[in-house]
């Protein structure tokens, strides 16, 4: 893989990850762009001990443009985009409308004695998986998934070096039902200046488990799910994909490496190679479930940068809000008001449906070959 770093017309960084070692990336960005916006505000919520990001400049971000005006497609004559090249494999660039950035301006220290304000320091990047506007992650070949994984590991390691970043979050939103603003297949990487509420809760549970048993909570849960087998959707030598026993979403799958790993940079070459075929298998089962593209969020859970790293366990959580062919799961009163999820689909039923969605239940090896589960 060849990695090429360049800059866009407004000074934002752009990185190409090419599968050909002889790729040349010297196309300049000739657009006349305004300067990037200053960093957002972080406002402290004392009632929940959480930070809320206020990023007013994102109100004007690009929203569902037609395909011929997509900012993530390669540039062409008379239609420059965020990617100056005429074609690319994987491209990563600083978000033009970032929720978090390093462009800090002075801010007041508090709104009230209880509500502190901080600059929204951090970094937000866009990861373009392919130059094909009409593709999806599920349609990528395993080699491209490996390139994407290498790019995410690269960006995770780079954000670790930023003094303000405490957690790196890689994710993909897919589908208008989820709320995407661009149809082109892409994901994002956020470098947060704090440990997020969900991760703090997971670390607290892991800490209690370690103090009580001496074990790693996620490793023990994964071992129990593999032993039970009822909720396992697919597996190979290095990874298992399963529906959590207490899944919150109608269709939710965790993909976890068998070896305890803290983050994406720590994955070995064989583990990275084995991930792609299994993940593609899971995504294709999602799409086959209702014979339509499944809206989903794919969220990588990694150990924080500095705090409680030893309690982490890398895994990918993939979940959909679709609960039936003509029904979506809305976060209504209980979920939005109280944070208490009510799942309409039993996790065991969801796992059985996903296993059946692509034929008999089976595993997928690193080459993409299906192998029946005993």
- Catalytic positions are 186
Longest dimension (CA), the chain: 64
Task: Check residue 281 and give left, alpha or beta (phi > 0: left; psi -120 to 50: alpha).
Answer: alpha
Q: Kindly tell me the sign of the dihedral angle through the C-alpha atoms of 108, 111, 116, 120.
A: negative
Q: Which H or E run includes 299?
A: strand 296-301
The DSSP code for 265 is G
Residue the block writes with tokens 């940068």: 305
Best CA proximity match to 94, nearest among 21, 23, 37: 37
Torsion of Cα atoms, 63 then 57 then 95 then 129, to 10° = -20
Task: Tell me phi and psi for residue 270, to 5 degrees.
Answer: -60, -35
């Amino acid at each position: 893989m060849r990695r090429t770093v360049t800059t866009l017309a407004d000074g934002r960084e752009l990185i190409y990850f090419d599968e050909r070692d002889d790729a040349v990336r010297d196309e300049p960005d000739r657009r006349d762009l305004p300067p990037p916006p200053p960093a957002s505000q972080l406002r402290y919520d004392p009632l929940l001990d959480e930070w809320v990001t206020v990023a007013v400049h994102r109100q004007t971000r690009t929203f569902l443009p037609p395909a011929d005006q997509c900012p993530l497609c390669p540039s062409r004559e008379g239609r420059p985009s965020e990617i100056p090249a005429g074609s690319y494999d994987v491209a990563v660039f600083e978000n033009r409308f970032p929720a978090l950035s390093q462009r800090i301006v002075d801010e007041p220290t508090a709104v009230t004695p209880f509500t502190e304000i901080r600059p929204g320091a951090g970094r937000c990047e866009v990861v373009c998986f392919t130059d094909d506007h009409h593709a999806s992650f599920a349609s990528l070949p395993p080699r491209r998934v490996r390139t994407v994984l290498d790019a995410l590991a690269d960006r995770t390691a780079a954000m670790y070096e930023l003094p303000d970043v405490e957690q790196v979050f890689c994710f993909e939103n897919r589908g208008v039902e989820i709320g995407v603003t661009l149809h082109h297949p892409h994901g994002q990487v956020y470098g947060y200046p704090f440990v997020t509420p969900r991760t703090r809760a997971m670390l607290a549970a892991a800490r209690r488990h370690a103090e009580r048993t001496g074990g790693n909570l996620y490793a023990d849960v994964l071992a129990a799910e593999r032993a039970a087998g009822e909720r396992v959707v697919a597996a190979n030598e290095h990874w298992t994909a399963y529906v959590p026993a207490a899944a919150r979403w109608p269709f939710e799958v965790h993909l976890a490496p068998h070896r305890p790993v803290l983050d994406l940079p720590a994955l070995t070459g064989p583990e990275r190679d084995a991930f792609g075929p299994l993940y593609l298998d899971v995504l294709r089962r999602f799409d086959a479930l209702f014979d339509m593209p499944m809206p989903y969020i794919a969220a990588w859970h990694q150990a924080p940068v500095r705090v409680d790293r030893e309690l982490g366990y890398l895994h990918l959580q993939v979940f959909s809000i679709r609960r039936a062919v003509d029904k979506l799961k809305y976060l209504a009163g209980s979920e939005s008001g109280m944070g208490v999820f009510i799942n309409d689909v039993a996790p065991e039923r969801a796992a059985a449906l996903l296993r059946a969605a692509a034929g008999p239940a089976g595993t997928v090896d690193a080459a993409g070959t299906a192998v029946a589960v005993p």
